Structure 1
Amino acid sequence: MTNYSSPPSAVRGVAEPTATVDASAPKKNKMSRVAFASFMGTVIEFYDFGIFGTAAALVFADAFFPALGTYAGTIVSFATLGVAFVARPFGSVLFGHFGDRLGRKKTLIATMMLMGVSTVIIGLLPTAATAGVVAPIVLIVLRIAQGFAAGGEWAGAALFTSENAPSERRGFWSMFTNLGGAVANILALSTFFVTGLLMSNETFIAWGWRVPFLLSILLVSVGLYVRLKLEESPVFTDEMESQGRSSLPFVEAMTHQWREILLGAGAFVSSFAFGYIGIAYLINYGTVTLDLNQQGVLAAGVFGNVVNGASMISGAILSDRFGRRPVLLVVNLIGIPWALILFPLLDTGSPAAFWLAITVSFFIAGHGWGVCGSFLSELFRTRYRATAAGLAYSLAAILGGGVPPLVAATLISKYGGAVFGVFLACYAAVGLICTYVLRETRSRALDEAPPGVGLDRAGDS
């Protein structure tokens, strides 16, 4: 097996760079500042992304799809959640293209603006009672825009951090991108929790759900200020100076590393499945199916995301010590039996069981997400890294985060929770196989081509 730490061989027709970028050398960007910018930006992006999932679980069936009834309206609400996941790969390709050609920083600012504007407009959107069929159509369009922004956001933020980080702690620093997502979920659920406490259920359904969306404008202002203060990634800058820009990053990525894109996505599908079942579907399942107290369910969601964030930190630290693959192998291995007992546990109807279900699901997802930023950054070449890593992440998101919440209501209502548990276990099995097939990446420098990938094979000029 090829060792990633071996020096890259000379490439036909291309001069060797005069110096190799040392990822641990001093840089203009301090790591604390880079990590905070990545963290804060992702908090804002995925707060906007996450409040939609919570609103879909609690409100959107009545607000935008009342004619369909509670059951069908809930399914369609989660379908609107899912369209964003369909849009994410396209956003990854679009913003990844510009990220690989123009730089990470510019795309990060663009994705934040798109997400922020879309979210605020959702908060101002009239419901079906006022605007009729136009309301759900516009809602779906805005959700697609959120998906585009989320697809470009993760890769830009994760790569910006990993390309600035010292190699021996790349896992830890790269984790801050996903940690921002956990904090965003806490903020989203807490906002709904507090809003629900301060007003009646009728008021909350009438207009209170809009408050979390409108508050986004404050967060976006902070995020833009932080990101505008940063310099471009040094690894990206060196690549542009020594090798030039890729004219078509997507074509290069798919020509050379389509296998790693698919396997990288497969390695993380179970993390997304457990995470988004906890973020979106279980909130609805706890309140509607189990008839648990809404505030208690939201409080459990907040606690679960605290566990999620702590698990990301743990997974990242473990990956720096033992490697990315060992952590992911254990995550997916544990996920198989947990998937099989999850819904039988929930169906006891006990609030304690619900809290346990949320906690363990996020524990598994968090350890996977903690490895994500470093592992996917290290899999791909710099010249198309934003496109390839973003596409792998978005494919994992659509398959793991978009599909399970969408099909859960149908499978569980027809066949019971045990069958859906088998469905989730299959996701963990896929993640286990894909992780096993991939190489370890911890020791590979980010300015080094992966084994078997060279410019003479890339068709570059």
Structure 2
Amino acid sequence: MTATQPGAVPLSDEDARRQLRRAVIASTIGTTIEWYDFFLYSTVTGLVFAKLYFPQSDPLVGTLQAFLIYAVGFIARPVGAAIFGHYGDRIGRKATLIVTLLLMGLATFAVAFVPTYASIGIWGAVILTVLRFIQGVGVGGEWGGSVLMSMEWARTNAHRGFVASWPQFGVPAGLFLANLAVLAMSEISGNAFLTWGWRVPFFLSIVLVAIGLYIRLNILETPIFAKLLAERRIEKTPMLEVLRRQPKDILLSAVARMAEQAPFYIFTAFVFTYGVTTLGVSRNLLLTAVLAASVLEFGTIPLFGHLSDVIGRRRMYMIGAAAAGVFGFLYFAMVDTRNPTWIFVAIVLSLVPHSMMYGPQAALIAESFTGRLRYSGASLGYQLASVIAGGPAPLIATALFAYYHSGYAIASYVLACGVLSLIAASRLGDYTNKDISREYDEPRSSGDSGHAHPTA
């Protein structure tokens, strides 16, 4: 497909390659910033918020209350998917990505200034909840646009999994930066970490937002959306239309993510509460281990995205779901030894099964939806998983441990998520190496083999 912009001449091959590079860089840096914001909140929740905003509660109850605020961000993500999916399919990927970046970044910056319970009582928690909801709306609209901005600039069908995996790279990069910022301030502020040290990483997020905004303002709209615009194929209500036409794909996309979402937030967010409170492990050991795990994903996410181009998107994803379901038992076996070395190894290895799914996941989900409904469908399917898996995971893990007093109860929950994801992924269509530039419901002429078909 020749890359064009509305009202413009087709781009040369060199210009198209340049735009692909810009789109990938803009998407990756943008998602890194947004996930830094989101994970910063996740990390600080387990370390700080229960103590500062629910000081009168029992420690376990306070942890549950803090994670309830944390879960609000996940509940808000489908709301963001619905809002920005609509506009992403109506006015384009680029404009939507700029708005989501600003929304997420400003809400995170504001967290730095929220007074504690000691200053304004329960209103501190109320303000945190509102800001967390705004964060969730922003990140809910971010993912779909970032993935499509990269994937729809891909010049061949053979490398779409690899290209689409780069916005996914923003997750470990954001996780790395968030944990690095907290670790650095933990060392710098020492005993004053609970007083002011935890606020600094939130404050610094405004610098990252400025960088991301500058980059995103200098990219073009994707060729696929430009083609839809030129052909006047834009839907008036894309979110309602995708719910009518592809409800099964939305549901399967959400359930397929359970093995990726739930373990990830247990292994990178709940672990701080479990490690510090239950195992008596140092905060800095856990932060360092999560840092190392995120660095490993710098390489494994693009690797498994590339492998999905070779062996098939769906097959690669199902291998990852099976690995994630089993690994939960190994994880808690190692962590429960209380040996710092084994804890470090467990946390680092925990994100390998995640990478096996997260690398091919962007293309697997986004390819499932026809172009004019792709932002809405992919965003909604992806973000619904935050309600059924990511958000509740630390809450469920806390409740299971409180009842059974065993990490293996949590591992059983991880296994159940793995089984559900395997079933859902097996039912998703596989568009590996298929053409996605045409609308899937267009009639095909005889001999036309370029149209996208899911393999059964």
Question: If the length of structure 1 is used for normalisation, what is the TM-score?
Answer: 0.90
State how far apart, in whole Å, the 1-side matches of 2:24 and 2:214 are.
Answer: 15
Question: Aligned to 2:435, what secondary structure does the other structure show?
Answer: coil
The answer for the alignment partner of 1:227 in structure 2 is 216
Following TM superposition, by how much is the alpha carbon of 1:422 offset from its aligned partner in structure 2, in angstroms? 1.0
Following TM superposition, by how much is the alpha carbon of 1:69 offset from its aligned partner in structure 2, in angstroms? 2.7
| In the alignment, structure 1 residue 290 sits paired with structure 2 residue 282 | no
Cα RMSD of the aligned pairs, angstroms, is 1.8
Q: How many residues align?
A: 432
Q: Would you say the 8 A contact 1:315–1:370 is kept in 2?
A: yes
Following TM superposition, by how much is the alpha carbon of 1:150 offset from its aligned partner in structure 2, in angstroms? 0.4
State how far apart, in whole Å, the 2-side matches of 1:124 and 1:163 are.
Answer: 39
State how far apart, in whole Å, the 1-side matches of 2:431 and 2:13 are.
Answer: 17
307, 311, 314: which one pairs with 1:318? 307
- Equivalent positions of 1:131-170 (< 5 A) are 131-166=120-155, 167-170=157-160
Amino acid corresponding to residue 306 of structure 2 in structure 1: I
C-alpha change, 1:288 and 1:23, in structure 2 (3 Å) is farther
Following TM superposition, by how much is the alpha carbon of 1:218 offset from its aligned partner in structure 2, in angstroms? 0.3
C-alpha change, 1:300 and 1:400, in structure 2 (3 Å) is same
| In the alignment, structure 1 residue 343 sits paired with structure 2 residue 299 | no
Following TM superposition, by how much is the alpha carbon of 1:28 offset from its aligned partner in structure 2, in angstroms? 7.6
Amino acid corresponding to residue 56 of structure 1 in structure 2: T
Q: Would you say the 8 A contact 1:23–1:164 is kept in 2?
A: no
C-alpha change, 1:234 and 1:33, in structure 2 (3 Å) is same
The answer for the alignment partner of 1:379 in structure 2 is 368
| In the alignment, structure 1 residue 194 sits paired with structure 2 residue 150 | no
- Equivalent positions of 1:271-282 (< 5 A) are 271-282=260-271
Q: Would you say the 8 A contact 1:377–1:389 is kept in 2?
A: yes
Following TM superposition, by how much is the alpha carbon of 1:444 offset from its aligned partner in structure 2, in angstroms? 2.2
The answer for the alignment partner of 1:46 in structure 2 is 35
The answer for the alignment partner of 2:201 in structure 1 is 212
Amino acid corresponding to residue 277 of structure 2 in structure 1: V
Amino acid corresponding to residue 406 of structure 1 in structure 2: L
C-alpha change, 1:273 and 1:74, in structure 2 (3 Å) is same
The answer for the alignment partner of 1:360 in structure 2 is 349
Following TM superposition, by how much is the alpha carbon of 1:25 offset from its aligned partner in structure 2, in angstroms? 9.2
C-alpha change, 1:65 and 1:280, in structure 2 (3 Å) is same
Following TM superposition, by how much is the alpha carbon of 1:268 offset from its aligned partner in structure 2, in angstroms? 1.8
20, 26, 31: which one pairs with 2:20? 31
C-alpha change, 1:173 and 1:28, in structure 2 (3 Å) is closer
Question: Aligned to 1:27, what secondary structure does the other structure show?
Answer: helix
- Equivalent positions of 1:69-108 (< 5 A) are 69-108=58-97
The answer for the alignment partner of 2:412 in structure 1 is 422
Question: Aligned to 1:80, what secondary structure does the other structure show?
Answer: helix
Q: Would you say the 8 A contact 1:274–1:364 is kept in 2?
A: no
The answer for unaligned runs of 5 or more in structure 1 is 1-20, 456-461
Question: Aligned to 2:240, what secondary structure does the other structure show?
Answer: helix
Question: If the length of structure 2 is used for normalisation, what is the TM-score?
Answer: 0.91
Q: Percent identity at matched positions?
A: 33
C-alpha change, 1:249 and 1:25, in structure 2 (3 Å) is farther
Q: Deviations along 1:222-258, whole A, 9 cap, x unmatched?
A: 0000000011111001012224210111111011111
Q: Deviations along 1:435-459, whole A, 9 cap, x unmatched?
A: 1112211122222334xx459xxxx
State how far apart, in whole Å, the 2-side matches of 1:367 and 1:274 are.
Answer: 13
Following TM superposition, by how much is the alpha carbon of 1:370 offset from its aligned partner in structure 2, in angstroms? 0.7
Q: Would you say the 8 A contact 2:259–2:325 is kept in 1?
A: no
Following TM superposition, by how much is the alpha carbon of 1:377 offset from its aligned partner in structure 2, in angstroms? 1.6
State how far apart, in whole Å, the 2-side matches of 1:442 and 1:90 are.
Answer: 29
239, 243, 251: which one pairs with 1:262? 251
The answer for the alignment partner of 1:130 in structure 2 is 119
State how far apart, in whole Å, the 2-side matches of 1:394 and 1:22 are.
Answer: 34
| In the alignment, structure 1 residue 248 sits paired with structure 2 residue 267 | no
Amino acid corresponding to residue 48 of structure 2 in structure 1: V
| In the alignment, structure 1 residue 442 sits paired with structure 2 residue 429 | no
| In the alignment, structure 1 residue 185 sits paired with structure 2 residue 175 | yes
Amino acid corresponding to residue 291 of structure 2 in structure 1: V
Amino acid corresponding to residue 82 of structure 1 in structure 2: A
The answer for the alignment partner of 2:294 in structure 1 is 305
State how far apart, in whole Å, the 2-side matches of 1:85 and 1:432 are.
Answer: 23
State how far apart, in whole Å, the 2-side matches of 1:72 and 1:352 are.
Answer: 30
Amino acid corresponding to residue 151 of structure 1 in structure 2: G
State how far apart, in whole Å, the 1-side matches of 2:39 and 2:355 are.
Answer: 16
Amino acid corresponding to residue 249 of structure 2 in structure 1: E
Q: Would you say the 8 A contact 2:73–2:134 is kept in 1?
A: yes
Amino acid corresponding to residue 419 of structure 1 in structure 2: A
Q: Would you say the 8 A contact 1:310–1:366 is kept in 2?
A: no
Higher relative contact order (CA 8 A, sep 6+): 1
Following TM superposition, by how much is the alpha carbon of 1:353 offset from its aligned partner in structure 2, in angstroms? 2.0
State how far apart, in whole Å, the 1-side matches of 2:11 and 2:245 are.
Answer: 25
Following TM superposition, by how much is the alpha carbon of 1:26 offset from its aligned partner in structure 2, in angstroms? 5.8
Q: Would you say the 8 A contact 2:151–2:160 is kept in 1?
A: yes
Following TM superposition, by how much is the alpha carbon of 1:41 offset from its aligned partner in structure 2, in angstroms? 0.4
Following TM superposition, by how much is the alpha carbon of 1:211 offset from its aligned partner in structure 2, in angstroms? 0.4
C-alpha change, 1:235 and 1:26, in structure 2 (3 Å) is farther
Question: Aligned to 1:431, what secondary structure does the other structure show?
Answer: helix
Q: Deviations along 1:12-47, whole A, 9 cap, x unmatched?
A: xxxxxxxxx999996285222111100110111111
Q: Please identify runs of 4+ aligned residues in structure 1 that moved more than 4 A.
A: 21-26
C-alpha change, 1:272 and 1:287, in structure 2 (3 Å) is same
| In the alignment, structure 1 residue 399 sits paired with structure 2 residue 388 | yes
* Range 327-336 or range 27-36, more displaced: 27-36
Amino acid corresponding to residue 90 of structure 1 in structure 2: V
